[in-house]
A and B are shown apart, each in its own frame.
Chain A
Amino acid sequence: MTEGAYAHSNSQRHCGGVNGVNIDINQFVQSFLEESFEGLEIMESQLLGLKDDADTETINTIFRAIHSIKGGAGTFGFREVAEFAHGVETLLDQMRAHKRSVNPELVKLLLEANDCIRDLLIASRDGVSLNAQHIDRVRESIDELLQGPASADKAAPAPVAPAAVATAVAVSNAAEAAPEPEAEASPAPGAVTGFRIHFVPEHGILRTGNDPLRIFNALADLGELSAHCELDQLVPLDALEPEECLLSWQLVLKTEAPEAKVRELFEWVEDECELVIEALAAVPSADTVDALAEPAASAEERLDAPEDTGVADVHPDTVSDDGPTQDEIPAPKPADTRATPVAETAETAADTPTAPEHVASSAKRPPADTPKPDLGQARSTERRGGGESGSIRVNTDKIDALINLVGELVITQSMLSQIGEKMQNQENDACLEKLFEGLTQLERNTRELQENVMSIRMLPISFAFNRFPRMVHDLSAQLGKQVELRLSGEQTELDKTVMEKIGDPLVHLVRNAVDHGIEPPEARSQAGKSPVGVVHLNAYHKGGNIMIEISDDGWGLNRDKILKKAVEKGVVAADQHLSDEQIFDLVFAPGFSTADQVSDVSGRGVGMDVVRRNIKSLGGSVEVRTAPGKGSTFSIRLPLTLAILDGQLLQVGGETYIVPLVSIVESLQVRANLVKSVAEHNLMYRLRDEYIPILFLNELLGVPGTRAKLHEALLVVVETEGQKAALVVDDLLGQQQVVIKALETNYRRVEGLSGATILGDGSVALILDVAGLIVLGRQHSERHHQQKDAATAHTEAA
């Protein structure tokens, strides 16, 4: 092993070519991290559901999760993780063996340990430092538990000696720190030139797949080996059990290798043989036969006391009376003892259907899928990718569907080209009809293919939901509340990117629900409600969108309080007349949720306005419904994917542009009396009580031609991040779903554009980025002012 093999994650793990293969195990680290994060998810969700000792399957699942993490961590050089996980594993092993009882403190500690391992992994992955204090504290708690009696509430004392655990840890450290034994142990300086080995395997040794010949081959690799086979235990041929090994050997190995190395080769059969290894004195190139002769005699002596050999079924009589001569013995050499089994093996192999499709079908099964049907939730969490990796695990069904579709597409394509050829030769109506048929089919295939490809990026929302059981568990404990979290619609799918971005807003809303929504138990009891509050996360598809609802059965929003606060904060004017709906919507207003709302749990400077902004940036929306005393529901609407967008096609000059439908407030004809000129060049449009800057798209986008005449144009009022703008366009063309293509792929990001798409006629249309356009508009007018100022200055100077 090279030293780097156990280096920290950020350094190279490289294994050198002792065996002529050079393998960089870094390539598996990503995979290890992914599955470790998954394992931690499983561990966490199982811990949260862990009720008592009787729950052995849950404990086993947790144990396996931590066990795998430990194993991988050791292999891939995450030593700290491996060490930490070891303690956790030991605790779980004790729980598994019913030597330690499940109790809330233990679960809490394990949950904390879970967090520590995650932190350690992330720190190693990203090469950052972490809060060592917290980890040390948890580690100490684990050590304390391990060293103390296993469980106070168990009658049986802890059978696990703390010393044993400590030793195990030490061993693991030593194993990692110490180089290979052979690297250090040089041959003894004495005159040891080799070993005499007396090897008497048990008869059943072959049944564990241990072939003495292989051991001899390995020995021969260490030096010069001579072997003498002892046949004295052999039985007559008719009594011979082909599966038994009745031979024993005297071996002389001339080698410089240390005894440990020789013993290591017998490591697996130690319990299945009698083994004597004696160092050979420096007999300078002694005749091997001589060397063999003496031990052979001693072996015979040993045979006199069969009970010492541990071999029960020796038949010395048979052997000595009509023992077969060497010629008659079919299996005098170890190699031949395998003859029968090998033949049998071959036969069985021939009988077994090769069934390649069988292999293929089982290979298709995604490895992470647990076949246990009762772990519905665990299964969904299990597939969760760790961290922000760019990879995605895809259900094989989806891939299969795609392969089928591509197949159909190929058929359609060849069908069409055939028709094309026919049409070249003879034009007739039948061909034309067929062509249209083919085109229709192609269209269908293509659309299905697109949908299927899209679905590859889709993941069930459980990936975003699965953090909440833990969070609500911790939060309610912290706040002294009793909260039950209900999840539904977890299998509802949405785009992976949307999923990653909706996480934080969801966390905020769930925290809010627990912190502000749900009342303390006493208050609930007084109000005649169950002391246990309910927070419900629900997801479902509606149209081309996914809806996520966060409901609580708590106080409900207080209309008067919100209004009062909004007026205090200057969010609305005191005399402004607002509907209830508008008042509740104020919680999303910038500047509303600040200062006195800050608590340990919510707050932290992140207000609901940020939640709304984040959701809007995903092309979604959020609104709230509430009933006093009954609770509130926050509903989030999100597009299923960021790769497709509902767009409004606009015409500007001769070009077609697309504006996301979600950012359009309204479209209107220009009424000249509502256009106000601010500076000479800057125009505003009065829309009810607001003044909205007018953006001339042809100028901002550099479309040739002069400024559009306002009275002939249309205004499209758009809004993003609380800013509005009125886009001047020649015409509105229609609405359609468009597939977003990045301009960065072959060009670069362009200010004011979020990408491009391909229209039905094959031409490219650019998708406008409203926020970027507003920035462009500002820059444009500033530049205009500067030019004007410069011009004025010039005139004045002149």
Chain B
Amino acid sequence: MTMGQQAHAEHLENDLLLASGDGDQFLTFILAGEEYGIDILRVEEIRGWSKTTPIPNAPSYLKGVINLRGTIVPIVDLRERFHLEHLDYGPTTVVIVVRVQTERQGRVMGIVVDAVSDVYKFKSIECQAPPEMGSNVDARFVQGLATVDDKMVILLDIDRLLNMEALTEILSSNA
């Protein structure tokens, strides 16, 4: 952790102490050593990796679709989405099934992550990703930052992250 980040974390912790009332709960997961969080209310279920059926002409991070109790659910590999090194799927590889809300409809999608970490309740969230964060994550997808026991957790805005238009945009530029 850099000095700047430490200072930032302390700042956040102060916020945590000062804030009152209940915060939102977040499910966190690990991706390439970093911890990310998503709103737990959006999580439908957590399941192990299973073989997907590839979708033609889709971006590479869209691993295909699976059958989730009769619905066809697309699976997005978050490592590939964040342009991180690909990791072979193993026993700990986990798919978090989330509900994504768009203007027109709700969608159910799965995200592939290295492992699920914990559930936290954050009382305060720093809203802007600091520039020195040095993460691989596009700042657009970051809802905010929070700290737990000196660890920084990047809270993702899954609606933006899994926005179909954005996914499609990348698709058409690929084509």
Q: Do A and B touch each other in the complex, judged by CB within 8 A? A: yes
Interface size on A, residues (CB 8 A): 23
Say whether chain B's binding surface is mostly helix, strand, loop, or mixed: strand
Assuming the contacts A750-B56, A756-B72, asked whether A745 and B107 have C-beta atoms less than 8 A apart, the reply is yes
Shortest CB distance A753–B (Å): 7
Assuming the contacts A746-B108, A748-B168, A756-B65, asked whether A764 and B57 have C-beta atoms less than 8 A apart, the reply is no
C-alpha gap A764/B64 in the complex (Å): 10
Shortest CB distance B57–A (Å): 6
Query: For B64, what are the chain A residues with a Cβ–Cβ distance below 8 Å?
Result: 764
Assuming the contacts A741-B72, A743-B72, A746-B73, asked whether A763 and B51 have C-beta atoms less than 8 A apart, the reply is yes
A746 near B72: Cβ-Cβ < 8 Å: yes
B65 near A745: Cβ-Cβ < 8 Å: no
Query: For A762, what are the chain B residues with a Cβ–Cβ distance below 8 Å?
Result: 67
**Looking across the interface, which residue of chain B has its beta carbon closest to that of A756?**
B72
C-alpha gap A766/B67 in the complex (Å): 12
A747 near B57: Cβ-Cβ < 8 Å: no
C-alpha gap A361/B149 in the complex (Å): 62
C-alpha gap A603/B13 in the complex (Å): 78
C-alpha gap A753/B57 in the complex (Å): 11
Selected from A742, A746, A751, A752, the residue in CB contact (under 8 A) with B74 is A746
- B164 at the binding interface (Cβ < 8 Å): yes
Which residues 680-704 of A have a CB within 8 angstroms of B?
Answer: 700-703
Query: For A746, what are the chain B residues with a Cβ–Cβ distance below 8 Å?
Result: 65, 71-74, 107-109
C-alpha gap A700/B175 in the complex (Å): 12
A750 near B55: Cβ-Cβ < 8 Å: yes
Selected from A700, A751, A752, A756, the residue in CB contact (under 8 A) with B53 is A756
Which residues 719-747 of A have a CB within 8 angstroms of B?
Answer: 741-743, 745-747
Assuming the contacts A741-B72, A747-B164, asked whether A763 and B53 have C-beta atoms less than 8 A apart, the reply is yes
Query: For A701, what are the chain B residues with a Cβ–Cβ distance below 8 Å?
Result: 56-57
Query: For A758, what are the chain B residues with a Cβ–Cβ distance below 8 Å?
Result: 67, 70, 72
Interface flags for B66-86 (1: CB within 8 Å of A; 0: not) read: 110011111000000000000
Query: For B56, what are the chain A residues with a Cβ–Cβ distance below 8 Å?
Result: 700-702, 750, 752-753, 766
A703 near B54: Cβ-Cβ < 8 Å: yes
Interface size on B, residues (CB 8 A): 22
Query: For B67, what are the chain A residues with a Cβ–Cβ distance below 8 Å?
Result: 758, 762-764
- A789 at the binding interface (Cβ < 8 Å): no
B57 near A751: Cβ-Cβ < 8 Å: yes
C-alpha gap A743/B74 in the complex (Å): 9
Selected from B51, B54, B65, B70, the residue in CB contact (under 8 A) with A747 is B65
Say whether chain A's binding surface is mostly helix, strand, loop, or mixed: loop
A747 near B53: Cβ-Cβ < 8 Å: no
C-alpha gap A762/B57 in the complex (Å): 23
C-alpha gap A763/B70 in the complex (Å): 10
Query: For B168, what are the chain A residues with a Cβ–Cβ distance below 8 Å?
Result: 748
Shortest CB distance A350–B (Å): 50
**Looking across the interface, which residue of chain A has its beta carbon closest to that of B70?**
A758
- A220 at the binding interface (Cβ < 8 Å): no
C-alpha gap A56/B66 in the complex (Å): 62
A766 near B53: Cβ-Cβ < 8 Å: yes
Query: For B71, what are the chain A residues with a Cβ–Cβ distance below 8 Å?
Result: 741, 745-746
Query: For B65, what are the chain A residues with a Cβ–Cβ distance below 8 Å?
Result: 743, 746-747, 756, 764
**Looking across the interface, which residue of chain A has its beta carbon closest to that of B55?**
A750
Query: For A766, what are the chain B residues with a Cβ–Cβ distance below 8 Å?
Result: 53, 55-56
Which of B51, B56, B108 neighbours the largest number of chain A CB atoms within 10 Å of its CB? B56
C-alpha gap A157/B70 in the complex (Å): 70
C-alpha gap A742/B168 in the complex (Å): 17
Which residues 91-109 of B have a CB within 8 angstroms of A?
Answer: 107-109
C-alpha gap A752/B71 in the complex (Å): 20
- A655 at the binding interface (Cβ < 8 Å): yes
Q: A702-B57, A746-B65, A750-B56 are in contact. List 20 more A-B contacts (CB 8 A).
A: A655-B53, A702-B54, A702-B56, A741-B71, A743-B65, A743-B72, A745-B72, A747-B74, A747-B164, A748-B164, A748-B168, A750-B55, A750-B58, A751-B57, A756-B53, A762-B67, A763-B51, A763-B53, A764-B52, A765-B53
- Listed by A's residue number, 16 A-B pairs whose Cβ atoms lie within 8 Å are A655-B53, A701-B56, A702-B54, A741-B72, A742-B72, A743-B72, A746-B73, A748-B164, A748-B168, A756-B53, A758-B67, A763-B51, A763-B53, A764-B64, A764-B72, A766-B55
Q: Which residues of A contact B (CB under 8 A)?
A: 655, 700-703, 741-743, 745-748, 750-753, 756, 758, 762-766
Q: Which residues of B contact A (CB under 8 A)?
A: 51-58, 64-67, 70-74, 107-109, 164, 168
Q: Which 6 A-B pairs have the closest CB atoms?
A: A764-B53, A701-B56, A747-B74, A746-B107, A758-B67, A756-B72
